[in-house]
Structure 1
Amino acid sequence: MLPPFLIMLREGIEAALITGIVATYLRQTGRSQWMPAVWIGVFLAVAMSLFVGTGLQLVSAEFPQKTQELFEALVGVVAVAVLVSMVFWMRKAARSIKSELHDSIDAALAKHSSGTWALIGIVFFAVAREGLESIFFLLAIFQQSTGPAAPIGALLGVAVAVCVGLAIYAGGVRLNLHRFFRWTGIFILFVAAGLLSSSVKHLHEAGIWNGLQTHAFDLSAVLPVSSLIGTILSGVFSYEEAPTVGEVIIYLGFLAATLTLFLWPMAPSREVLTHSTTQSDSHA
């Protein structure tokens, strides 16, 4: 339940943050009459994401066993790709997303003949990005999990994200977004590593990958998957009590590369450098 909850919480807050920035800017600039276009964009993005997710789930149900394993492996790889891109995109874009959205809105509404459609498009593509990322992740999780825990966790994450988004828009909550996205980003990279190693297992079961299949270690006597802690670790991080050498190499190699890049200090953005230079000139 925890991974889908945190992923949907993060994705939901990202979508709510983008929508809130657009709505607040329209309100502050006296253009609240354009708000229906914002909600249309949100509705269309959510509807498209649900349609794509439902379609993929229905199609995959008709596959034979080996094709099903291959499909689950491919979905896992795609989910890892979108999760990593989400983490690194927000790490980079968080500094300038507000000003970029403001510029896009001004440019869209400057064209009176097509302003409505342009504004719908801005919100649609921003929210659809988060929605499609969520769909591929949830498909990968739902294929590895049984029972209602994962769907309930996802729904709770969305519900909490909506509440946080409304609170941020109303000005009642000030969330430390930098710290929030940093820690959830680290957690997501661990989840992604587990999904990627599970994809290697699915590729083997599909008959595509047969290398490095020797068991690296066996913790079944110490921490079996059937135990309470083992079940939690399996559900959150795709823990295996007896992983193969290939799965361990993929897991550790992925984490080593992505965590190093994610935690590496970013160079100051051009806006920060310009602001610092302006302050130094004023003091001089």
Structure 2
Amino acid sequence: MLAPFLIMLREGLEAALLTSIIASYLNKTGRSSYMPAVWVGIFLAIALSFLAGAALQIISAEFPQKMQELFEAVVGFVAVIVLMSMVLWMKKAARSLKDELQHSVEHALAAKSATWALIGMVFFAVAREGLESVFFLLAIFQQSEGYAAPLGAFLGVAVSVVLGFLIYQGGLKLNLRLFFRCTGILIIFVAAGLLSGALRSLHEAGIWNYLQAPAWDMSHVLPLSSPLGTVMSGLLGYHDTPAIGEVAIYFIFLFAALAIYLRPLPAQKTARA
């Protein structure tokens, strides 16, 4: 439940920040009459995300068992790539995001069909977050059982909407830099777990059959079905009887991704110098 909550909280807050920056700029420049176009772009992006998720779910349901395992592995790998792209993009773009969005708004409103240009701009900004979320949730839902994961995702979206509204109204001061940095680190742990689970799916699909000896057996100490095991599984990718290959790819990815993410940006080094 925690992993989908965390991911959807971050994704939802990113989308809320993008739209609130656009809406605030329109209001400040006396162009609030274009707000309906912003809402149209948001609703179209949400509809596309739901359609894409439903289509992938329906298609995968028709696959035979081995093909379903392969599909789960592919979705897991794609989710890991998109997760890392997301956290690295936000780290790099956070400081100039507001200026770039305001410049894009001016560019859209200078077009002949300003309303449609603004709709398209908002649509692509929000749809990117929505489609990213589709792959994350598919990967997590495939490795989870019950209603805890969907409930966590729903709560993450709900909290992000409330936070985004409060930030837009100016009633909430949130250290967004610290928030995105901390959630970025946690999401890297989630991505490592998804990668390990994707390798497990490849083995179940009969494609990866190497390094399958058990690394350890914690089923009697901390079983996966226990409350703590379930929490650690969703957030950290814990498994009570993982294979050696799963453990190896988990820690190799984790250390490499953290080293890349925590490395200072070149601009920051120059500024300090």
TM (norm. structure 1) is: 0.93
Q: Which moved further from structure 2: 5-14 or 222-231? A: 222-231
Work out the percentage of aligned pairs sharing the same amino acid: 64
The letter of the residue matching 2:246 is E
Deviation at 1:269, TM superposition (A): 6.3
Query: What is the match of residue 248 of structure 1?
Result: 247
Q: Considering only CA atoms, is the larger Rg found in Structure 1 or Structure 2?
A: 1
Structure 1 residue 213 corresponds to structure 2 residue 240? no
* In structure 2, distance between residues paired with 1:197 and 1:82: 16
Contact kept, 8 Å, 2:9 with 2:160, in 1: the verdict is yes
Q: Which moved further from structure 2: 137-146 or 180-189? A: 137-146
Deviation at 1:102, TM superposition (A): 0.8
Query: What is the match of residue 281 of structure 1?
Result: none
Q: How does 1:120-135 map to 2 (within 5 A)?
A: 120-135=119-134
CA displacement, residues 182-212 of structure 1 (integer Å, 9 cap, x when unaligned): 0000000000000000000000000111111
Structure 1 unpaired stretches of 5+: 277-284
TM (norm. structure 2) is: 0.96
Deviation at 1:224, TM superposition (A): 1.8
Deviation at 1:235, TM superposition (A): 2.6
The letter of the residue matching 2:255 is A
Deviation at 1:24, TM superposition (A): 0.3
Query: What is the match of residue 177 of structure 1?
Result: 176
Q: How does 1:44-123 map to 2 (within 5 A)?
A: 44-111=44-111, 113-123=112-122
* In structure 1, distance between residues paired with 2:114 and 2:151: 39
CA displacement, residues 130-167 of structure 1 (integer Å, 9 cap, x when unaligned): 00111100001111111111111111111111111110
Query: What is the match of residue 40 of structure 2?
Result: 40
Deviation at 1:221, TM superposition (A): 2.7
* In structure 2, distance between residues paired with 1:43 and 1:71: 29
Deviation at 1:232, TM superposition (A): 1.8
Q: How does 1:193-212 map to 2 (within 5 A)?
A: 193-212=192-211
Deviation at 1:268, TM superposition (A): 2.2
For the aligned residue pairs, the C-alpha RMSD in angstroms reads: 1.6
* In structure 2, distance between residues paired with 1:227 and 1:25: 49
* In structure 2, distance between residues paired with 1:226 and 1:150: 15
Deviation at 1:227, TM superposition (A): 2.5
Structure 2 unpaired stretches of 5+: none
* In structure 2, distance between residues paired with 1:137 and 1:214: 28
SS in 1 for 2:267: coil
CA displacement, residues 53-95 of structure 1 (integer Å, 9 cap, x when unaligned): 0010111111110000000000111111111111111000101
How many corresponding residue pairs?
Answer: 273
* In structure 1, distance between residues paired with 2:237 and 2:95: 33
CA displacement, residues 216-268 of structure 1 (integer Å, 9 cap, x when unaligned): 22222322213222122123223111111110110000001100011111122
Contact kept, 8 Å, 2:219 with 2:241, in 1: the verdict is yes
SS in 2 for 1:94: helix
